[in-house]
Structure 1
């Protein structure tokens, strides 16, 4: 069946090959590049596969080679509100957000898809490395490039109008195919940094928007060990850059254990104090039938992070995830994505974490 397909073209090799495959499959494909900044020079520069002026030009050239119509859509205001401002607000609240996850949720599979459907398109095609099989979201065959984690915030209704042509292909194969197709982006490097932080200085970016606010760095007993200029500059599990006045009595390194925006306090302690045995997630999104009883599965707690055996069950509006072995450095604000094999069951935003002692105490 021929579909009207809107291909989101970032300017990178993945989205270019995905669009080419959709066109080759006989679909009526139109390419679109999303302009995400009203002042592109305020974002990073250079062709990096997403979000720059050079990337827009690369996307247009790829569309010309493929032979499909191409447009640039201005989504700067929506991106600033739903991704950039959300990023700042989450850090201010003591959480560690994933802006790429939020961009997929709010921009590519909400704003873009809504507009595409309103214009009569049947599906949105992207270069994500993930698979859709019988309506289910599954991991890519290239586990090193798998992006099912950042897509797990999408709803079943959104995925019903999604197309991921690269899920059965490794990244090396994508590059070779791009070269065969004459796409100039075949050797273009992947994008790894945050597109709206031009110099990569996240701490400086946050300081400009949140301002300096001195606070205390304490240990678990409350003893003051140092001072900081803003709790937002720290993340759970951080070891370097703590600027402590003195070493631990046993000489072992300290790590960030907790961030309290209310008291503007950062708590540090030994590495083993980072162990998390239970996670509570909020705003669960189910890609299959919602769980109604404890279910043994696996959970991934950050993009390209380790996967843990667990038991998960909804309790009211909270998804409770009990880990079979402890995880370390679990940050509130990240997504907890549940898997059954390579199939995504659902996701939730990490709202609270508990050690073995607090779990046993009935937390």
Structure 2
């Protein structure tokens, strides 16, 4: 049961991530700006994490803060801020289904960065390593299929059927811009996961790391809003949709989904967390069609199937490596005991 907890936690986190995507898209559609939305969401998260962090990580067991750890908090906050801003900007141009599909490029970028930073090792003698590598490539290929191949409509939207050819050209341009922003968001998210893994190795108090991360985002989003958003209604919460979206994002975004992800990064490593992003595509497709009126196309279905195949390949390789580590760790104490038993002391 303990070994299954990270899998269950990441499955729940992906459900929350899809809901976060839909909530952000709805809030932006009401005219709310990205910076003010990010500010409110992370400010609410800070209010939740502050008492929880210092209640769970009490003083005697709390890791010691150093300048390098504080610097890591700052870098993590900057990456998180850029990831959220770019991501919400991309959501405005593409459907929730396509946004979630492109985010599935995160495992590929994370795998490459994990190898570069020494968090994943490539041992040519292990089949599990090749399965993880091939599975990552397959998953990225599936995300590219969803991005660049639409195909015939399985479920059409009344919106797309009612627009004129001129508007369709504008829709295509927005689609390309939105796809580019989501690709950039995937790269930033991969750097965020790797940075998170490095920091948690130095400072293991997950909730304090998340509180510091959200605090940096609150400051950056507030300053950016003052400089770039000249509309005095940018911080307005008159719309009920905005309030509900902020409540969901603040409680189930960084407060729940990102914290679960950080705990799983600490337990299982960055690639494990990144490879759960493909599961969100199925949930996003269903919720996008039901609640947002998004269309469902053949390219999305084919790409999703390819993504899932790659995902399970990586998970299989990861499980084989975990079993090997467990066997080696269980054997080492026995070998040490046997060596001590057979040691002869010569006077």
Alignment TM-score, normalising by the size of structure 1: 0.26
- Higher helix content, 1 or 2: 2
- Higher strand content, 1 or 2: 1
Alignment TM-score, normalising by the size of structure 2: 0.27
Could you say which structure has the greater relative contact order, defined with CA pairs below 8 angstroms and 6 or more residues apart?
A: 2
